[in-house]
Amino acid sequence: MQPLYELNIQFFKFVDTPLPLILTNRQWYTISKDPHARAEWLINKYGRAHALFHAVRLGNSFITAEVIQALLARKVILSRYFIQRLLMHFGNYDEKLIELKIEHNVNQVDFDRIRAFQRKLQIPWASNLSLPIFTKLITEGYVILNDQELATKGNDMELFHFLSAGPLVINFAPQKLLQNINEIKDLIINKKFIPFPPRPKPTYEDSVHYIQLMQARAHEEYPPKDGYENSRQLNVVARAILIHPDLVHS
């Protein structure tokens, strides 16, 4: 690469919202298409732990095989949990089944509000990935995790919940967690378990949109369609760290 081009990539990665810059001229547009520039921007904005999550979230117009390769070359984290969630979300949802489940569990007024809000939601996380990108992510996961018997049909968040004594009251949890500490460390170190990021906070918490959002989230299925980790799952992790702070240094 030319020195000026490399310098522009270094500048680009610090831009919080690149679109206005991209629209200024063709040079920045070209840089925005560069897989290395995209990888650097993702890592700088979201960190190595969540770069792949956001690459998938940004969709087929952003994520390419070259972007994935550039991210992996920069040692972003590709966990077993990421592969598990990818398999859960990939493909189209049966919207009719989802509506029937909601209708069965809430009253008609709430159902109408939730359905109206869900229609405004963007395409669910990872559901419309192109098959080559989906295949590459799965294949790279098997290579990086070096496990031909990878438990892709599991859910490492749920596994962490049980191993960390999530179902037990806090008085009995420490003893159970310590009994499972080696399995928890294996999950973190070898399976690279990291929760997905929390949802961004709504801009206005006193709006009708916010109320509709909270109603929809109260009845959402797990895992959430937008891919973000909800507060219940993050509380599981937070409680385990409070019980055994050394988990963050595993």
Into how many domains does the chain fold? 1
Q: How far is CA 139 from CA 52, 114, 131, 213, in A?
A: 14, 37, 12, 36
DSSP 9-27: HHHHTT-SS-HHHHTT-HH
How high is the pLDDT of residue 148? 80
Domain annotation covers residue 99: yes
Q: Where does the pLDDT of residue 213 fall: very low under 50, low under 70, confident under 90, or very high at 90 and above?
A: low
Domain annotation covers residue 215: yes
pLDDT for 94-130, tens place per residue? 777 777 777 777 665 565 655 555 555 567 899 999 9
Assess whether pLDDT exceeds 60 at residue 146. Answer: yes
Domain annotation covers residue 44: no
Structural domain containing residue 177: 93-126+154-250
Q: Mean pLDDT throughout 47-74?
A: 97
Domain annotation covers residue 33: no
Q: Mean pLDDT throughout 167-183?
A: 93
Give the CA angle between residues 141, 142, 143 to the nearest 5°. 90
Domain annotation covers residue 2: no
How high is the pLDDT of residue 97? 77
How high is the pLDDT of residue 206? 64
Tokens 């560069």 identify what position? 34
Domain annotation covers residue 116: yes
Domain annotation covers residue 237: yes
Q: Mean pLDDT throughout 219-224?
A: 74
How high is the pLDDT of residue 217? 62
Domain annotation covers residue 230: yes
Nearest to 43 by CA among 18, 72, 19: 72
Q: Mean pLDDT throughout 196-217?
A: 72
